Structure 1
Amino acid sequence: MVVGASFKAGMMSSDEVLKAVFPLLDVKDLARCMEVCKQWRDIAKDDYFWKCLCARRWPSICKRPNPTLTYYKLYQTFYKRQKRRKLLPPRLSFDDLEFFIDIWTDDRLIFSEVVPGPALLTGIKAPPPGICYMLRSHLEGPLYRMTLPIQPRFTIPFAQSASVSVLARRKDSNRVACVMNKPPFDYVDRSSCRALAFDYLDFSPLYPFISDTRAWVSLFFLDDGSEGVMDVFGIELDFCDAANSKEEVLWLLDMLDWK
């Protein structure tokens, strides 16, 4: 039988052999065959083979005649999640933005600044001496940061509650959006010397399916463990749930409900 099969295979052309074998392959092996040479690629792109694969994965779709896409394109499109597409250049820049940041302890205003957008990109170049290792690692890490040094520094007793408000203004249209509406700094991590507050962003009605995206503000402080106060020297604004690059942040801000 083996000799007969070999003899019979020898009487077949190479194209016929490939057409007999390709329907037996799984998608990974068939895709690898397409990389061997032009002849193999041209044969492997035959829609019959890909219809066989589609029939294994989505049997019902093969019951409809004449799909809009070829079965090859259909399988290529839906078999696995597509790679994340590169963002187009944002329509907004940090030069077009300024941020209004206000911080209270109880009802007393302790910090109030209008911060130009580019100032958040400059970062904290010279952290004060004595900051903890975890905070130094955070500031020196490779992740995208929007940070601002506080000058002069202020203190907040650990026993007092604090809250923050952040508005943003677009210079190109003079419209304003709310980023944070006085959420409290509910979480104080003394091991990393950070106090954190978050609020959910309000998006334009043009984007009805975007929700539950948070903005975070962190206060960086020194803690000598004796005075019971946070000696605040920096602020960080981030959208780590959804945006981790300058371009992503600008696209996110562009989608806010600007008034």
Structure 2
Amino acid sequence: MTVLEARPASVALLADAVGRLQDPGTLAAELAASVADAPPEDRDDLALAAVRAVLPRTATWLVEHGATPEQAAASIADVERKRDRYGVATTGLDWFCALATARVVAVGRLQFELGSHLPDRTRAWGVHVPETGPLDPAACERSFATAPELLRRLAPEHAASVWSCRSWTLDPGLAVALGPDSNLVRFAARFALLPAGPHDDAEGDASVAKFVFGTDPDAARRATATGRVQRAVLDRWRAGGHWTERTGTAPVA
């Protein structure tokens, strides 16, 4: 298989955005435009090549602004993890851009996103769960306790007093499906839900298919369940229900 070399203009686009907290959707569109003249089958690979090329700069910037080398390495490691599990298109260029520009950083078990806002534009720190193993409550507690100091150092102008998480794990029925002692349920219980939105059902089913089964909704519905979470997802679908993707908040201690 031919490995495509990153285009200098694409790399320069991302390198200039490191640490600047640019909107990842806008940056992703610009990155896609920088490779739009390539054959369609090469575009994702060229975009990912640019992301990979800028990661050493990303790690250096994180360390220079207060992250440990281990935190910097864990932050950029999500590029290959997402690429291997979901591919470029399914992951979305916006997520790769957020990682490459140090907008999303790993602190222990969790990832945190700088520059996030609630629907009312209140400044927030986003919370994400990388695919790195069990969602141990004690490990999550350490992440929430440790992250604020680093996030304030990385972007003091975006310091927040509230955590924000949007995830299918915040579906109100999850505790019924899995029980209150489930790690996923205990994680979700940290957050107070915002009012439901009009697209929560459609986004929830797609999110569950992606993160629980690693595929699209149609393929996920045909899957054979392995484990309690997959069984719970399929049981609701087979009963005619949907999973929602909800947004929740929690105060920063």
Query: Which TM-score applies when normalising by structure 1?
Result: 0.23
* Larger radius of gyration between Structure 1 and Structure 2: 1
Structure having the larger proportion of residues in helix: 2
Structure with more of its chain in strand, by fraction: 1
